[in-house]
């Protein structure tokens, strides 16, 4: 495997990733991710002792936002709004599939 190849797979829900790992998985500079955090676009990111930690939910969000920004030249705020809507849609589909209705 080449050094620049990124493995895509399922993450365990209780796993935490570093800023550098998420940036590498999204093929962005860590500064891209930090700017988005500072703008409040990653509500699931946590800073523990000065180290940013990301869940699999944050990784999915980062990938979606990056793709929207790249493919549609979307501004970060619009990409974050679309990511919110896609997350809500995923949640609704999961609840519908499991038969849980609120």
Predicted pLDDT of residue 99: 85
Q: Which residue reads 């570093």 in tokens?
A: 18
So what CATH class is 17-98? mainly alpha
User: pLDDT averaged over consecutive 10-residue blocks of the chain (102 residues)?
Assistant: 50 77 96 96 90 92 97 97 96 90 62
pTM: 0.80
Predicted pLDDT of residue 15: 80
Predicted pLDDT of residue 101: 63
Report the alpha-carbon distance of residue 12 to residue 7 in Å, rounded.
14
Predicted pLDDT of residue 64: 97
**Domain segments of the chain: what residues?**
17-98
Predicted pLDDT of residue 5: 52
Q: Are 45 and 30 in contact (CB under 8 A)?
A: no
Predicted pLDDT of residue 14: 65
């Amino acid at each position: 495997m080449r050094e620049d190849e990124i493995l895509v797979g399922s993450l365990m829900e209780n796993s935490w990733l570093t800023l550098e790992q998420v940036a590498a998985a999204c093929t962005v500079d860590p500064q891209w991710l930090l700017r988005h955090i500072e703008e409040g676009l990653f509500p699931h990111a946590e800073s523990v002792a000065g180290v940013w930690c990301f869940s699999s939910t944050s990784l999915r969000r980062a990938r979606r936002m990056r793709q929207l920004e790249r493919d549609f030249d979307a501004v970060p705020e619009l990409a974050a709004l679309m990511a919110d809507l896609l997350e809500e849609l995923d949640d609704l589909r999961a609840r519908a599939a499991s038969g849980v209705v609120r």
